[in-house]
Every structure is written in C-alpha cells, then in structure tokens.
C-alpha cells in the first residue's frame, strides 16, 4: 500500500493476502473484500497526498466512522446522504432471552451509545456544511427534535417546518415554528396564518398569540383602513391576554389594549355616523384629534381624511381646505390619505395652485400621528384577508 496511490484494484499481493495496487482513481466498490487494516493504510496514503475525500470514503468502508467524520469536519469534505447513511448504525436491542446476560446488555449499551454519538456528530457536521435537511434528519434519529427543528428553520423549508412541528408536540418547537412563520407572507396565505394561530394555541403561548392578533389588527388599519375589522382582531388579542399567567404583564397589556380599543370604537362609530349624522361624527373626530393618545390606536391622517371627504361630498370646499391645512400643520402627509383628483378640485375651488406639495405630500406620512414616522417598509406590508377581514 506504499506505492504511488491508494485505490484498491486487483493487481499485486499484500502482506495479508489481499490484492492491492494503489492508483489515483478510487471507486468505493473497490474496497469490498479488503480488511479494515488495508483500507486504513490506503486512507493514510490519501491523507498524505491531500486527497481527503478519498480518505473519508476508505475510512467509512473500514468502519472507522469517527475518523471519517473528523476529516469531514476539519478538511471540509462534504457529507452526502449516502455517506451519512453508511455511518448510521442500526439500533441494537438485547434479545428477550439474553436480557439477564451482563455481557449482552453491556454490548448493546456500548453499541447504542456509539450510534448516538455518531448521529450527533454527523448532524453537527452537516449543519456546519449547510446541509440542513440532512442535519435535521440525523438530529431526529438522535432524538434531539429541538436541534432538528432549528436545522429546518435554517433550511427555510416551510412545509417541513409545519409538518415537523405538528408531529413533535413540543411547546418549544411549536413556538419556534410560529415565530418563523410570522416572518413569511402570512397575510396572503391563510394556511400559514392558520398554522401560526394553531401552534401558539397548542403551546399555550398566549402572550405571543395576543401579539399576533394585535399585528393583524394593525395591518387591517395600515393596509386597508378597516378599523371595524381591526376591532375584531383587537378583541381576539384581549381574549388571549386574559389567559397570560403573569398578572403584572397581563394588567399592563390589557390596560394598553383596552384604551386603544376604546379609541378605535369611537372612530368606527364616527365612520358609521358620517352619512346619517355628520355633526355627531365631526364632534367625535374632533374629540379624537384632541386626545393625547390617539396616535397609539388611530392614524391621524385617517381621521382628517374622513372629515375632508365628508365636506368635499357636501361641496363645502372652504371647510375641506381648512382641514387639509390643519392636517399639514400636524405634520401629516396629505398624499397617502387623500385622493389626488379630489385635492385638485379643492385647490381649484379655493384658488390655490396645489394642496399636495413636496414637503408634506410625497414620501412621508404619519404613523398613528407621529410627526417623523418612517414609511412602512414594502417588505413588511400585509395584505392578508383575515377571518374578520376582506372577502
């Protein structure tokens, strides 16, 4: 085995009687029938010549899995699924008739402990190499479902994550899966949304579930201006906050959310009354605009928009213009809330060039009344038709 290479082919006799002829090419099938000692000697030759992938295959063929894995880990030899399976030992059980035999029990225990170590090492190496699906498979065989889930999360395999969480029945895994799914476009995929709610519910993660419903409500407002539908989501959030075990946290969350609900309920009432009782609707809107916490629940631009649109329909252009100027004075961008055609008509009626200027009308709008709020990132926009949402 000390010649110019180390692949095994029929040729020259070895010390043990096996026929060995080293060469640069190596076919794993060539190792069949050769002793582990010969295979290890050939692997050492390949290591000396930096042919680590060939050495790994020979060590696997020789049953020296730990050495093979060490090479894979330190010399960056990619572990294939076939290689991983070759290094996965079958679980050894003690036959019924030998369970009182200390040697048989000790042998099975030693074998299974080695199997466990190998599975963990294979999984760790695969994860380091970016083979996350294979890592998840080996962690699962090793009985470490949490690390298996974390590997699937790294792989980003949504279907497998949902399936694995469903069969694992682990609180921590349910929460990991739901947290991951919240980063996806659940707004346009009802199945993902359903899984988020299901996993948080099964984990009894009521704080996270309440926060999710809060997020749903917020996007009903930000994306659709659907305050009535957002109200339904807020009330779902309240229901789950009530199940939170931490009393101080529960009280804090409820206090904040109930105030927001009260403000939204008043605005929803104004939206309903604007056609039948505009004076009462305007009174409600003005009281909301004067409320110091209005921005925590309602976009100030939406309140102004309701009033401006009402006066525009009533052909009261002067009052509509005054409201737009008040809107601007509060630092609220006009463009995101009011139709450009309507603004042009109001401007023409009151004799001004434009009501949509660069300072207030383009590239900026309030987020619940904040003067310097950033535009919502497009990647974070939500268009989900919620159960209480759009049909």
**Average pLDDT for residues 324-338, to the nearest whole number?**
94
pLDDT given for residue 233 in this prediction: 95
pLDDT given for residue 154 in this prediction: 96
Q: How far apart are CA 142 and CA 147, in angstroms?
A: 10
Question: Confidence class of residue 356 from pLDDT cuts 50, 70 and 90?
Answer: confident
Give residue 102's Cα distance to chain centre.
49
pTM, entire model: 0.75
**pLDDT digits 0-9 by tens, 175-234:** 999 999 999 999 889 999 999 999 999 999 999 999 999 999 998 999 999 999 999 999
CA distances from residue 41 to 8, 47, 75 in whole angstroms, order as listed: 11, 10, 19
Contact 389, 226 (CB under 8 A): yes
Q: Which of 92-96, 109-113, 205-209, 325-329 has the lowest mean pLDDT?
A: 92-96
DSSP string, 94-117: --GGGTT-HHHHHHHHHHHHHHHH
> Following CA atoms 15, 16, 19, 23 in sequence, which dihedral angle do they give, to the nearest 10 degrees?
-60
Question: Confidence class of residue 97 from pLDDT cuts 50, 70 and 90?
Answer: confident
Q: Is the pLDDT of residue 388 over 80?
A: no
């Amino acid at each position: 085995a000390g010649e110019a290479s180390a692949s095994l082919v029929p040729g020259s006799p070895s010390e043990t009687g096996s026929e060995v002829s080293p060469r640069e090419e190596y076919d794993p099938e060539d190792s069949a029938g050769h002793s582990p000692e010969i295979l290890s000697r050939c692997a050492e030759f390949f290591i000396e010549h930096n042919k680590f992938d060939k050495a790994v295959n020979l060590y696997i063929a020789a049953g020296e899995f730990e050495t093979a894995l060490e090479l894979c880990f330190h010399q960056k030899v990619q572990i294939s699924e076939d290689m991983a399976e070759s290094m996965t030992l079958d679980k050894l059980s003690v036959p019924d008739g030998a369970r009182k035999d200390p040697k048989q029990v000790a042998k099975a225990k030693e074998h299974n402990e080695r199997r466990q170590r190998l599975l963990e090492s294979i999984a760790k190496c695969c994860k380091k190499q970016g083979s996350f699906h294979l890592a998840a498979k080996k962690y699962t065989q090793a009985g470490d479902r949490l690390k298996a889930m974390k590997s699937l999360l790294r792989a980003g395999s949504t279907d497998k994550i949902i399936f694995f969480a469903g069969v694992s029945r682990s609180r921590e895994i349910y929460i990991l899966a739901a947290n991951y799914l919240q980063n996806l476009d659940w707004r346009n995929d009802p199945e993902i949304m359903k899984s988020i709610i299901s996993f948080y519910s099964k984990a009894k993660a009521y704080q996270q579930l309440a926060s999710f419903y809060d997020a749903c409500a917020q996007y009903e407002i930000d994306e659709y201006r659907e305050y009535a539908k957002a109200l339904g989501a807020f009330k779902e959030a309240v229901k789950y906050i009530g199940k939170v075990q931490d009393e101080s946290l529960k009280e804090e969350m409820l206090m904040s959310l109930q105030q927001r609900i009260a403000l939204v309920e008043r605005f929803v009432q104004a939206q309903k009354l604007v056609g039948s009782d505009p004076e009462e609707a305007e009174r409600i809107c003005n009281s909301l605009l004067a409320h110091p916490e209005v921005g925590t629940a309602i976009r100030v631009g939406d309140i102004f928009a309701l009033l401006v649109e009402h006066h525009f329909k009533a052909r009261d252009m002067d009052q509509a213009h005054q409201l737009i100027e008040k809107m601007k004075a509060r630092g609220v961008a006009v463009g995101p809330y009011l139709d450009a055609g309507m603004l042009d008509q109001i401007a023409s009626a009151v004799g001004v060039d434009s009501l949509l200027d660069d300072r207030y009308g383009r590239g900026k709008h309030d987020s619940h009344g904040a003067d310097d709020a950033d535009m919502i990132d497009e990647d974070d926009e939500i268009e989900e038709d919620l159960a209480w949402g759009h049909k």
